[in-house]
Amino acid sequence: MSGFPIPPNRKPTLIREFGWAEVWTIVLGIQATIVLSLVAFTGGGIGGLLVAVARTAPVRSLRALAGGFIDFFQGTPMLLQLFLVFYGLPVLGLKVNVWVAAAVGLTLHASAFLGEIWRGGIQAVPGGQSEAAHALGLNYFARMRFVVLPQALRLSFAPTVGFLVQLIKGTSLAAIIGFVELSRAAQLVSSITYKPLLAFGFAGLCYFTICFPLSRMSARFEKRYSIKT
């Protein structure tokens, strides 16, 4: 395992100081973390919408399928989901790099979780809304598009932002399959400087700087439009 500290009396001579170059390496890692989070969140947003609509569809088999998809991703570790994509895509005959594997894995994960969050939102919209739209002659797609989804998404804004925080933290697991982002950069810096406390402490601070404002925003919105059941 890289990054394991070597006892002081056996330190090799080629140890780098923890200087600006090392700080910069970690800061560059933030970029990859943010891009990966945005890709997964966007992909998961599209997938999640499909999952949420399928989960509340008037077709029984569609509901069961979406339910199974959600249960699988909520009931298994995210790390194993990444492993399955990473080792599974080659099985399908596709060549993968870690970027694609991490993006696909996180997108599927986000689709399931956002799907479940938005399913809750859709079901929290009073049934009368959908019935009224029906009475006005709107078909299923128009009812969803113009009446139910806009309200459902607004109701689920707080948990959606809360999940974004989870997803950003989750991107750190891509480091384990070798994707260089914030955590992996900290690991690399830790192993060349032998200052793991500083490297991981600084990485933690970087994550905190990104996640804390989002968490606060989520908490504020939760107070404002909490779903009343």
User: Helix, strand, coil shares of the chain as percentages rounded to 5?
Assistant: 80, 0, 20
**Minimum distance from residue 93 beta carbon to another protein (Å):** 6
Q: Under the criterion CB under 8 A, does residue 71 sit at the interface with another protein?
A: yes
**Minimum distance from residue 196 beta carbon to another protein (Å):** 4
Q: With respect to another protein, which residue has the nearer C-beta, 95 or 137?
A: 95
Give the number of residues in contact with another protein, rule: CB under 8 A.
Answer: 47
Q: With respect to another protein, which residue has the nearer C-beta, 138 or 214?
A: 214
Q: Which of 77, 127, 128, 137 binds another protein (CB under 8 A)?
A: 77
Q: Under the criterion CB under 8 A, does residue 92 sit at the interface with another protein?
A: yes
Helix axes 20-55, 60-74, angle to 10 degrees: 150
Q: How many CB atoms lie within 10 A of CB 127?
A: 9
Q: Rounded to an integer, what distance in angstroms lies between the CA atom of residue 156 and that of residue 152?
A: 6
Task: Decide if 208 contacts 158 (C-beta within 8 A).
Answer: no
Helices marked H in 56-147 — which ranges?
Answer: 60-74, 78-91, 98-124, 127-135, 140-142
Site map 13..52 versus another protein, x via CB under 8 A: ----------------------------------------
Site map 172..211 versus another protein, x via CB under 8 A: xx-xx------x--xx--x----xxx-xxx-xx--xx--x
Rg (CA), the chain: 22
Q: Under the criterion CB under 8 A, does residue 150 sit at the interface with another protein?
A: no
Task: Decide if 14 contacts 193 (C-beta within 8 A).
Answer: no
Q: Do you know the residue count of the chain?
A: 229
Residues that bind another protein (CB under 8 A): 1, 3-5, 71-72, 74-81, 83-84, 87-88, 90-93, 165, 169-173, 175-176, 183, 186-187, 190, 195-197, 199-201, 203-204, 207-208, 211-212, 215
